[in-house]
Amino acid sequence: MTTAPHPFRAIIVGGGPVGLTAAHAFYRAGIDFVVLERQNEIAVPEARGAGIGVMPNTLRLMAQLGLLEAVEAIGTHMRPGTVVTSDGKPFSGLDTDAWCREFHGIGWVIVHRPELMKLLYDTLPDEIKQRLLPGKEVDMIETTEDGVMVRCTDGSVEKGSIVVGADGVHSKVRDCMRRIALQESPKAAVNEEKPFVATYRCVFGHTVNPPSGINPGEEWHMHGSGMSSLLLAGKEKTWFVFSQKLPKPTRDRRRYTEQDTESFIKELGHVHCTSTVTLDDLYQARTSCYLTDLHEGLIQHFHHGRIVLVGDAVSKQTYTTGQGWNTGVQDVVVLTNKLRSMMENETNPDAPISKCKIEAAFSAYQKDRNPVVQQAVKASMVMTRTEAWNRWYDWFSDRHVLPRTGGLKMLYRAFLVPANTSAQVLEFLEEKNRPSGTIPWLHGSKKE
């Protein structure tokens, strides 16, 4: 680990998968930080049971952090997958793990989100773990020329040089950033108050004892009119997501109840998720199952003053392309590189880094990330609508053209490969044994 001499401290708000990644990256960059998490525990052992796909770009970072083997150990690689209609008839296939190996020289793995978070937490050194503070819900942020002051609902205050908002889709930090910008100038260009739109909702969950006939490594998709589903069978758990188009898009934050979930299952439980297993079979076998809206979109302003946003606070994609967390990881990587080079270029090691230099680093971060995230959000929107047969030509191409032309691989190549190949790594850490496939990576470590 390198250490930075400058009096510079980051306050990371949110100890979710992106906040924990930021803890690793900042620690390795020698950036002083604290993480404030509103939950009473960091990396809650059995939290909401979604599966998270760890894509080739993130596996490269995991290798740099020395975590690749540990991630592979809790993950499962998928075998070739089958796409069925809502009554269970197979009509198409895909093999994304093999495609990733071909394009990038490394596949992808599905992991249980709570296990991933536990791994990220457990692998931080003990003295760094002490910088992760649970039970700290951020309520207010004040910024000055010299620094930031973050107030929590328990009355405690943290002082630092910058705030990094890793607090998810309904980000409080994003709200504070907007308020501060408007206080400074009522005409300031700011993000919308509710920047993301949900056009679909989904039930997602997992089963520890999957319905019979489902084996580890199986991947099933269902594509239908106004709905789609995904089932991924891991070594010990099976994850499922079933989405449905909403009657009308909403920007609101809706909290669904257990009864809402049951109504959803009553309406759609008969629909097949594999050729033999229905949504109701999965629901009956569930260990966890939740109903949520699937917000989509990208904010215009990633930063203001001393505040910067990463992860779901910046962009929201549906699960269809499996890029949500991976996009947040890339936000963290690029931000860390920019902050570290800002600190290295500071000529006076004893002086606090000026607001102007911080803003320049944030601006460089947004400049790098904006086009890549825009493309990732677009890819997820296209994929979501294609598989839910949003228009007649989505149905026609998905049901009849793509299966006959090998088009799904082309679609994957066009829409998802760029998110991987354009990925950055921590440029100040070595990258040994970089995987290589038929499409070159655009960026590498500067320490090779």
Ligand X SMILES: Cc1cc2nc3c(=O)[nH]c(=O)nc-3n(C[C@H](O)[C@H](O)[C@H](O)COP(=O)(O)OP(=O)(O)OC[C@H]3O[C@@H](n4cnc5c(N)ncnc54)[C@H](O)[C@@H]3O)c2cc1C
Residues that bind ligand X (CB under 6 A): 13-19, 36-39, 50, 52-53, 137-138, 166-168, 172, 204, 241, 311-312, 319, 322-326, 328
Residue 201 or 409: which CB sits closer to ligand X? 201
What token pair was written down for 405? 């032309």
Residue 195 or 353: which CB sits closer to ligand X? 195
Residue 147 or 234: which CB sits closer to ligand X? 234
Report, in Å, the least distance between residue 204 CB and ligand X. 3
- Taking the C-alpha atoms of residue 319 and residue 48, their distance in angstroms, rounded to an integer, is 15
Report, in Å, the least distance between residue 71 CB and ligand X. 13
Report, in Å, the least distance between residue 401 CB and ligand X. 26
Residue 6 or 118: which CB sits closer to ligand X? 118
Rg (Cα) of the chain, in Å, rounded?
Answer: 22
Which single residue brings its beta carbon nearest to ligand X?
Answer: 16
Report, in Å, the least distance between residue 182 CB and ligand X. 19
Report, in Å, the least distance between residue 214 CB and ligand X. 18
Report, in Å, the least distance between residue 171 CB and ligand X. 7
Residue 45 or 186: which CB sits closer to ligand X? 45
Report, in Å, the least distance between residue 346 CB and ligand X. 29
Report, in Å, the least distance between residue 67 CB and ligand X. 16
Residue 113 or 272: which CB sits closer to ligand X? 113
Residue 2 or 130: which CB sits closer to ligand X? 130
Residue 325 or 415: which CB sits closer to ligand X? 325
